[in-house]
Amino acid sequence: MRGIAGLFERSWSGEPAALPWTKVLLPLSLGYAWGSAFSRRRAAARRRKLEGCHVMALGNVTVGGAGKSSLARWLALEATEAGAGAAIILRGHGAGTPSRQGGVVPDFAGYPLLQSTGRYGDEAIAHRLALPRKAVVATDPDRLRAARALRSGYGASVLVLDDGWEQDRLCWDELWVVLDPRLPAGNGELLPAGPLRRPPSTLREASRIVFLLEDPHDQVPDATLAWAARLAPGVPSLRFTRVLRCLTPVGEPAAGERLRPGAPIALVSGIGAPSRLERFVRAAGADVRLHAVYPDHARWTRASLTASAGRAHREGAEEIWITEKDEPRWPPELRVDLPVRVIRTTIGPLDPVEDALGPLRAAVARVARIV
């Protein structure tokens, strides 16, 4: 089931068996390096400042799965608790067509959600379901256009750009870069031979480096800390851990249930880092009997999901668990033999955050004085 996606994942993680595949792709990575450098220079020249807003861009040096979306929600909540009008802006990955205009994601009273992914994308809907109404979520390939609309129409003064490092329209005040603690650069190669979307040397552009751990008992490896310190000297770092809030039926974010320790479950996911999800779920106490892995933002079919549910049942799983990002893509009419639960998570800091949140809180105070 993992197919080409699984091959890339093994290659990008540096597994020895996948080394020949990596070598074949190295010439293409040289072309990508040239194109990426050109795109970054052009983006830096095109970005424009928006007065009256504090803009926080989130990014990572590798493709997907580092935890940007979780950090975006945490920052949006911190901004709203500080009294600011907060908004998350995304490109809209997982939506139907790249030419769409996007817009403000509406509140969802409940199921079904699938028809909205074509306009907003799965990540944006996951944000909307996870955040209180006072935090706005919007999608638009043109982040500057979205920011202006949110400032004038919704009073947003703190803008969190989920995956905003790569965009070429809006300048930021802070750049928070999220790294995988175990494999911050994968196999160290640029796309497509490796997972790097940009050279690691660009990490020095960050205002803050974030390491998101899947288990609160884990530590950031010394090698990773040394790697980051060498590439971005003087850039402070923060550690966070992922926390399981509850499990809910699909489309019902308020109907929470606690994890039953040792529960035999099956995972079905179409996300950027499935191995990290499995590590988190095991650390939370679940007995993972099966993990059906699909490509990131996969368009699920009834046939494939029914087959995965059948395998899960045969492996002794009593429930199927999916992520908040996968929830909007779950077919509303699909009925399988096992209960389907959504893993609802948050993140918590393992280090003091007062210094890290200082610029945000100062910006909120400035806006309050102006108003």
User: Percent of the chain beyond pLDDT 70?
Assistant: 91
User: Which among 193, 154, 179, 140 is positioned nearest to 11, based on CA atoms?
Assistant: 193
Residue 268 pLDDT greater than 60, yes or no: yes
The reported pLDDT for the residue numbered 96 is 59
Tokens representing 61? Answer: 């040096």
Integer Cα distance of 161 and 147 in angstroms: 10
Q: Please report which helix (H) or strand (E) contains residue 176, including its range.
A: strand 174-179
Contact criterion met (CB below 8 Å) for 136 and 55: no
Residue 3 pLDDT greater than 70, yes or no: no
Q: Which of the four pLDDT bands, split at 50, 70 and 90, describes residue 110?
A: low
pLDDT one-digit tens code per residue, 149-170:
999 999 999 999 999 999 999 9
Integer Cα distance of 326 and 268 in angstroms: 9
Structural domains for the chain: 47-242+348-370 (3.40.50.300), 245-344 (3.40.50)
Q: Which of the four pLDDT bands, split at 50, 70 and 90, describes residue 249?
A: very high
Residue 6 pLDDT greater than 60, yes or no: no
The reported pLDDT for the residue numbered 97 is 56
Residue 282 pLDDT greater than 90, yes or no: yes
The reported pLDDT for the residue numbered 1 is 47
Residue 336 pLDDT greater than 60, yes or no: yes
At 312, give phi and psi (nearest 5°): -60, -45
Residue 258 pLDDT greater than 50, yes or no: yes
Residue 131 pLDDT greater than 50, yes or no: yes
The reported pLDDT for the residue numbered 368 is 76
Mean pLDDT of 201-209: 98
pTM exceeds cut of 0.85: yes
SS (H, E, C) 210-269: EEEECCCCCCCCHHHHHHHHHHCCCCCEEEEEEEEEEEEECCCCCCCECCCCCCEEEEEE
Residue 8 pLDDT greater than 90, yes or no: no
Please enumerate in sequence order all residues whose Cβ is within 8 A of that of 42, keeping only pairs 6 or more positions apart, or say none. 168
Mean pLDDT of 26-45: 97
The reported pLDDT for the residue numbered 99 is 46
Residue 146 pLDDT greater than 90, yes or no: yes
pLDDT one-digit tens code per residue, 39-96:
999 999 999 999 999 999 999 999 978 999 999 999 999 999 999 999 999 998 766 5
Mean pLDDT (the chain) is 91
Tokens representing 323? Answer: 């992520």
Q: Which burial class, exposed, middle or buried, applies to 58 when counting CB atoms under 10 A from its CB (0-12, 13-18, 19+)?
A: buried
